[in-house]
Amino acid sequence: MIKKLHFGKRTIRVQLTTWYILLLACTLMLFSSYLYVVLEHSLLRQLNTTLQVTATQTLSNLINKDGHPAFHITEESQAMTEQFVQAGIAVRLIDQQGHIWDGFGSYSAIPILIPQKKGYLDLSSPEKNWRVYNQPIQTSKGYIVWLQVAESLEPVYKASKHLFDLIILGFPLVLLIAGLGGWFLANRALNPIQQIISKAQRISASNFTQRIDYKGPPDEVGRLAKTIDKMLDRLEFAFEHERRFTADAAHELRTPLTVIKGRIGVTLSRIRTPEEYEITLQDLEKEADRLIRLTNGLLFLARLELRQIQPSFLQPVDLTNLLGALVEQLEPLSASKPIILKETIAKNLWILGNPDYLTSLFLNLLDNALKYTQEGGQVILEAQQDEEQVKITIQDTGLGIEAKHLPYLFERFYRVEEARSRQTGGVGLGLAIAQEICRLHGGKLTVDSQINQGTTFSLFLPRTRNF
């Protein structure tokens, strides 16, 4: 249970909610602090304005009495004084020695302090804290008397404390509501991902037909679901390809082994003459050669598909000489059938490639053309180039291939005619190997064929400048 709770704390849902609450808490703290400071300064500014206005009005009501200033008592001044007193304002006149000459309101509760300059002071007494405005007055005798206008700071403190209490009480409530809202929003945002996880967990190597099939809006989650579906399509194709390859390879390996076992069983069933033993051994040798060709072809194809070709294997290759040598090598085979082997090869055909791989590629294509062309037919090899690429075509006048077979012609073990392929000794890997070699060299291999008119293989390879 502890492990589950510990793991749950690390879910994206919890992390999003936690970060949301922390961010909101920091924002509220900053905003509340700013609001508290602004309110306090605003109240102090209003209080300062009130004190200064009161001082201005009071100055206009001063008279000179016995050589020093005093408040002039009139009906109008008494009404104004009562308003000041009711507002909690205290006013007094004090000299440099601290003697109070006159005043009204609770001026006696204000601590005695002789100011040094005009302006505002905060004074504290056991009962109250005061905000005092000090205004110097020059008497007729030349000495300074201070007009002090004061008001209690308690309303400011109470308003600030009230705001602080509201912040303290509302802060947890706001965070609680925000946390619940964040959890709800995180659930709503992550529920599609949970559905994707549930569907993905039901997909296995034996059940690749299921897809996420997301029906929501085309947002990030929707794009993720579509990406996963496309990945599953590729994986399904790869698994199906490997299963088909495994089944085909097992079938191809089983056939010669069955023949070998059958021939051995028949031979051992009774005593044979030396000539019969020799014929049997020759047949066994043919099947063993077929097994060797098959395994070598599979290993070679596997290396090609893994792209195990190092840059050091690539070198400038003169296709003019290479193709000419291959045609010369195959002329005895074509003459024995007999088949006319023609060539039209341009000069200075250079590409960057691996000579051994390229030899295997062209031998596969030329050998196929010679195998499936009847007596008296012809095979034509043409090689030309333009500014970007070298084009090699191998055209024969054989029976041709039906259009339905062309899309699968470069697949492993695919045969157009099973019986004919076995008669020619093929294992169904030649064109697949040719296709992979072409891709390794950055080229493209295509085929075009028509029944009773022959087949043409076209190979396009990137051109390299002359050396």
Instruction: State which of 117, 139, 160 marks the end of a domain.
Output: 160
Name residue 447's beta-bridge partners: 457
For residues 340 and 295, state if they share a domain: no
Q: Are 390 and 383 in contact (CB under 8 A)?
A: yes
CA distance 248 to 256: 13
The tally of domains found in the chain comes to 3
| Structural domain boundaries enclosing 24 | 12-160
Q: What is the CATH number of the domain that holds 336?
A: 3.30.565.10
**453 domain-assigned:** yes
Q: Render pLDDT for 99-148 as a digit per residue (tens, 0 to 9).
A: 888 888 888 888 888 888 899 998 888 888 999 999 998 877 777 888 99
Q: Provide the pLDDT for residue 78.
A: 84
CA distance 118 to 129: 19
Q: Provide the pLDDT for residue 7.
A: 39
> Which pLDDT band, with edges at 50, 70 and 90, does 311 fall under?
low
Q: What is the mean pLDDT of residues 423-444?
A: 78
DSSP letter string over 228-291? HHHHHHHHHHHHHHHHHHHHHHHHHHHHHHHHHHHHHHHHHTS---HHHHHHHHHHHHHHHHHH
CA distance 398 to 370: 9
For residues 355 and 442, state if they share a domain: yes
CA distance 74 to 91: 17
**154 domain-assigned:** yes
**185 domain-assigned:** no
CA distance 71 to 137: 13
**209 domain-assigned:** no
| Residue 336 structure tokens | 């024995």
Cβ of 289: how many Cβ atoms within 10 Å? Answer: 12
Instruction: State which of 247, 274, 304 marks the end of a domain.
Output: 304
For residues 89 and 150, state if they share a domain: yes
CA distance 368 to 380: 13
For residues 422 and 343, state if they share a domain: yes
For residues 17 and 69, state if they share a domain: yes
pLDDT reading at 342 higher than 90 = yes
Higher-confidence residue of 92 and 429: namely: 92
**451 domain-assigned:** yes
> Which pLDDT band, with edges at 50, 70 and 90, does 37 fall under?
very high
What does the mean pLDDT of the chain come to? 83
Q: Render pLDDT for 174-214 as a digit per residue (tens, 0 to 9).
A: 888 888 888 888 888 777 887 778 777 777 766 777 777 77
Higher-confidence residue of 416 and 90: namely: 90
* Reported pTM: 0.49
Instruction: State which of 304, 333, 356 marks the end of a domain.
Output: 304
For residues 336 and 426, state if they share a domain: yes
Q: What is the mean pLDDT of residues 426-447?
A: 84
